Homo-oligomer: A and B are copies of this chain.
C-alpha cells in the first residue's frame, strides 16, 4: 500500500478531507509558503478556460491536480465535474426568502489575530483566509454577503467536513425519534461491522468521535490510513494494481480497534462514515434522500445540493456535501433558531439544545487543539463553550458555519485556503467572528 500512496502523494498535495490538527503549531507570524489570494484568483488564472483547456490551465482528477493548490481555488466550486455525485433535491416548494438589511460597517471591524499583536480588519481577513464566499446574518437577516474567487451566489461549493454536522444532526434526530439508540452498539444496526473496530463502539461514541481506532489521519504521512480511506471512497483514483477495498463501507470493515472506546476525543473521519451508514440503515434511505427530506425540502432551500458518491452510490458522509452558501446560511440560522425555520420545526429544539450544550471538554482537551482551548465535540459539531455559547461546523481549507446565539448571529464561509488544517485559519477567523459578534451587539445597543 505504501508504494501506492507514494504514487499519489506529492509535496503540493493538499487533500480535501478532514485533517488532524493535533500536530499543528500556532505560528501565524510565519510567512505563507503559498502565493496569496489575489495572486491565485482562480478567474484571473483562467482555470479550465479553452476548448480544450491548455495543459497549464487544465485541472483533472486523474493526476490529482483537482486537490492541489492553487487549483482548489477553482475545483472547490466545481466538484461535480471531477466525480460522480447524487442530487439532494430541494423539491418544488417555494424558496424561503432571506431578508436583506445590508450593512457597510463590518469591513472595518478590527480584531487581533490569535498569537499576533498586529490588528487586522474583517475585510483583510477575507483574503487572508482565501475566502470564496462569506455571509453574515443577524437577527434573521443577511447583513453581509460577499463572493470572491470562483464562487457565485448561485454556485455550489464543497463543504468538506461541514458535511459531518448535517449527517450528525440527522442521526441525532433519529435518536430523538427513538429509531436509533445512542447507547446501543453499532453492530446492532450494522452486523457487517461485527468483527472490526466499531463492533463494540456505541452510536454515541462514533457521533462524538471517542472511539479507539488503529487509524491515523495525517495527510503529510504517506503511510497514513487516511489515504486508504479516500482511495476506497474514490476521491483519489484507484491506481493500476490497486487491490484494496473498493467502497467506503468495505474499507470500514477492515479497521481495527486500538485503545478504548468512550475515552479520548480523536478526530477521525471514518467515524462519520459509520454515522452515515447508521442513518441510511435506520432510515432505509440513501444519504442524499435523507438530507433532502429532512433539510432541503422542508427548509425551502434555494438550490438543490449534491453529495459525492462512491462506486456503490453511497454518499461521502465525512466530506462530500456541495451546497449554495445561502443554503448553508439557512441551515446555520435554523440551528440558531432552536431548530425552527421556514415556519416549521425542522430539528427538535431538544436536539439543538443538546448539540449547543456540547460534549466532554476533558475528552476533547486530550487531542491538543491549540486554537480551540476549552472546546468540545458533540454529534459532529464543534462547541466553543465561550460566553456567547458559540458552536461550529468546520471543514478543511476554511469551510465554516458559526452560530453565535448571544449575538443572534450566524456566519457561513466557503474558502480554499492552501493547506487543509483549520488551525491555520483559526487565528484570523475565530477572533474575527467574535469581533463581528461584539460589534453587532454594541451597535444594537446604540439603536
Binding site for B on A (CB under 8 A): 48, 51-53, 58-62, 78, 80-87, 89, 91-92, 154, 156, 240-241, 246-247, 249, 277, 280-281, 284, 286, 304, 306, 309, 311-314
Contact = CB atoms under 8 A, between A and B. Distances in A.
A203 to B, nearest CB: 15
Contacts of A286: 48, 51
Nearest to A309: B81
Contacts of A281: 51
A84 B87 contact: no
Contacts of A51: 277, 280-281, 284, 286, 314
A280 B49 CA distance: 10
Chain A interface main SS type:
loop
B80 A87 contact: yes
Given A52-B249, A81-B313, 15 more contacts: A48-B286, A51-B277, A51-B280, A51-B284, A51-B286, A52-B313, A58-B313, A59-B313, A78-B86, A80-B84, A80-B85, A80-B86, A80-B87, A87-B156, A92-B154
Nearest to A249: B52
A259 to B, nearest CB: 28
A241 B240 CA distance: 8
Contact of A85 (B53, B81, B92): B81
A298 to B, nearest CB: 16
Given A154-B91, A249-B52, A60 B312 contact: yes
A311 B61 contact: yes
A92 B89 CA distance: 16
A240 to B, nearest CB: 5
A229 B53 CA distance: 20
Given A60-B312, A84-B83, A52 B154 contact: no
10 contacts: A51-B277, A52-B247, A52-B312, A61-B311, A80-B84, A80-B306, A83-B84, A87-B156, A240-B240, A304-B304
A80 B80 contact: yes
A48 B80 contact: no
Given A48-B313, A81-B309, A286-B48, A89 B249 contact: no
A153 to B, nearest CB: 8
B84 A82 contact: yes
A280 to B, nearest CB: 3
Contacts of A48: 286, 313
A25 B86 CA distance: 39
A86 to B, nearest CB: 5
